[in-house]
Amino acid sequence: MRLLQTFTKIILPIGISVWLPACGGGGGGSGDDADILPLPLAFEYTVGAQTLEVPTSGGAIHVSVGPFGAHFQPLTGDPIGDAKSNLIGLLALDSTELIEIPASGGNDDGICDSGESCAFWGGLGGDLIRSRIPTYIAPVDAKLTRLTLNSGPDPFYFDNPVHWEIDMALSSRFSLRIGHLGGIAPPLRNKILAATGIDTDSYTGPKGNLFTGKNIPIAAGEALAFPQMVAQELLPGYYIGGGVSNRIPWAQMEYSVVDNRERDQVCVYDLLTATQKSDIQDMMVAEMADPNSVRYSAYSTSRWIWSAEGLLCPTYSSQPNDFSSIHTRFGGWTERPEAGTTINEQFSIVKIEKASAIYDMANYDSATVDHLALRAVGPGLPGFSWMMPDRDVVTPFIAVGEVIQEGANSLLIMWRDIGWIAPVYQRAAFLLDNQGLKIKWGIFAATAIDATLPILGLGEACNDSDILCYDHQPRL
């Protein structure tokens, strides 16, 4: 597989000592359970003005940092809160690193001038793209506990790779999962082949976890795998991206750390030193503030949405089975199975992180607005079918609004940019119990005064219409 030809050392971004109680034994990684567990989970990076600069044999890639637990594009594609690193490894930051596409209506001088159609030069056959794919490296002595094939060859990604995912035990407490892998690095591939007979260079299925009780030891610094790269070839050697970055190719870099004692995903940026976290926080905000940012410029009209999540680590916890508040598990809720219902809706109530330097009170109805609300239907079309106050019907696929008022069991939401002529208001009543969240949605109104609060009785059943039931399981 051609993707395996070049490597760049990366150690995932965290870098501190974590204090743990001393204990013996356990089924963790080969790092022992001493009082201090070093976690040098950091790229070989320098903190740039707006991105982490990561060296590769073909030149630096620019790693854009996104918040943990985010809900909105271009931070993530997970409406209920994405408990991952949310990094994007960009091959270019501006047009100076692109070239003009020949015969595309420009002056054909090869220089990417303003207004011209441009692309990244990946070399004939894509060798320059391949030389800039980073390689993940084991942060500490560990054990590979899980090897999963999530999907077969995918033409959306460069070189049409399969989608691997690996899990490692770093200790009895912490484990690391790295997803969106386009392939396994030769040292680990050889170990897997010896232990299982599976050659990850050629294996394409069946899907699933390919380990059956095996643990493969991994040494600190050992090359593990590399991320899938989004790069579409327009003409021989000329590449663009796709998805969150349409113009510029990028590496999809996603991983998560789990605290096995808490059974909860850890905000990876909380494992940085205070200085490291502060520097990267400032860097992320600088990228968000740049109107020409590769990641954010195409989303300028939704700045009020994604800039609400301007902290590396969110205020609320990620506990998956906590129903004590409407805000648990990042406020993210998925419709749960109930008689006569279709599981096709997600709801989130998202904290506006006012402590972030990117927060701007002018983006919202007032300074008292503390949360955004999100409703999404899927997968696929059609979207919602919502009757507006003038009897028009709008069909948003994802609707986002401001929570104007929040009571003990009620919400007043001002939905924005959903296809009607102005913001529209809706009240909702909700109840929490040991199964999760139940919401009864009211009618839409042109003003907050006209939005009436529905009455939600304790015994009312979910009806897949105005009464929806949710929990924290990511079903969609």
Tens of pLDDT, residues 5-54: 333 444 444 433 332 222 222 333 333 433 334 443 445 788 999 999 98
Number of C-beta neighbours around residue 63 at 10 A: 23
Q: Is the Cβ–Cβ distance between 167 and 177 less than 8 Å?
A: yes
Residue 380 has pLDDT above 60, yes or no: yes
Query: What was the pLDDT predicted at 292?
Result: 93
Query: What was the pLDDT predicted at 321?
Result: 82
pLDDT range class, residue 319, cuts 50, 70, 90? confident
pLDDT range class, residue 349, cuts 50, 70, 90? very high
Q: Residues 272-315: pLDDT tens digits? A: 878 888 999 999 999 999 999 999 999 999 999 999 999 999 88
Buried b (16+ CB within 10 A) or exposed e, 427-438: bbbbbeeeebbb
Q: Give pTM, 2 decimals.
A: 0.88
pLDDT range class, residue 255, cuts 50, 70, 90? confident
Query: Tokens 């609060």 — which residue?
Result: 453
What are the extents of the domains in the chain? 2-289, 329-471
Mean pLDDT, residues 227-242 taken together: 96
Q: Which of 169-173, 231-235, 365-369 has the lowest mean pLDDT?
A: 169-173
Pairing of strands 135-137, 250-259: unpaired
Residues contacting residue 329 through CB under 8 Å, at least 6 positions apart? 80, 81, 316, 317, 318, 319, 320, 322, 472
pLDDT range class, residue 264, cuts 50, 70, 90? confident
Query: Tokens 């990267």 — which residue?
Result: 280
pLDDT range class, residue 201, cuts 50, 70, 90? very high
